[in-house]
Structure 1
């Protein structure tokens, strides 16, 4: 919880408040609040919620992002439960497309909110991708043909869950799986249902609390030449259609019972 202690000390300093004033507003003792700033004690969830509301900064940001690296005005204007998205720009101020390497893809979970990590990544520029923030992720070729394991999926950062569209493909950054590229097949109150295009894999749910980021498919880059077998897509499409037809027939049968 070191980030939390540093963040609340920083936020208090930016507001020009004393520890006593903050403690009085939170209805706790100054000594107790001081222990949170000194990282001597961790606040229980009810106090953490109070601190989050007091500074108008989400708990996610308080415990996972070094707030000193961002303008306070930008932090306070973020919608609830948003994570700051570090981006890399060139000397003309244009966003670059960061490349998440295959061998170090799991490291993205630790560095996705760290500007220094993002700054260390190699980048490419694709002028036909505009109006958004893009990032290149290694493909999971086994479950999403025709994309091979050596390919990259370039995704556009999704600002809100309401922008999700069933039937489209997305790169999901999650606690449990890391980076996974799947097709969205359902949106529920507490989870998203995703479906690999490879019929050997079954659809499954990703809880909303498990998701860090979502990137909508924009384009892909293949680093190896396709073989004829790779391009036999008709069978894959037919199997997908048959599966969808089977589900529709099942739903009709259930409605007529």
Structure 2
């Protein structure tokens, strides 16, 4: 005696599928499925294989054993709680400040409820650290067609206030002041920070460290376009070629 009919009926019950929905899932007619469940008809082997594979059930178990609900919940198909038993990698969920949310963020940066409402990025980096995402909205950090362009995304790791003055000069940072969230390079002086753009026409901005509400050291960058890595390599190869030519002339 085949338990196929009873088992697929139980699968439908666990998955909360109607006969019609289950039948459509495997290109069957509703009446055909009903006949299987009532034992009035036996399925073709390819139908058995499709159902068994879909729900990751052994064909032998599907046909010869009356499966219990608990057993079905251990199989990994869409019907199961298998995901609860799998150790999945935890991605860091990073709140991201966009061009349209900057003004709100300046006012509400320290409100946890507001931060939770920001759009987020999920990135495979250390989830135990505190990060903040930022979408670039201007050309201040460009230089000779290189650098950061609008819609690029940078991710910064939070810097404690007492560590700000210890950061190396030239470090890329996001700095929150009373009136702005600034993406620049950091240069420290006695008690002050200078925020410098890569674009030569943008003036430096200088603030006492005490006026910096938050600082985030940029750790990761996502570019909207694919960077052109070839240019730098070609320059190096040209330089090597020129040096070889000079050596050849001296030896000649």
Instruction: Normalising by structure 1, report the TM-score.
Output: 0.47
Instruction: Normalising by structure 2, report the TM-score.
Output: 0.48
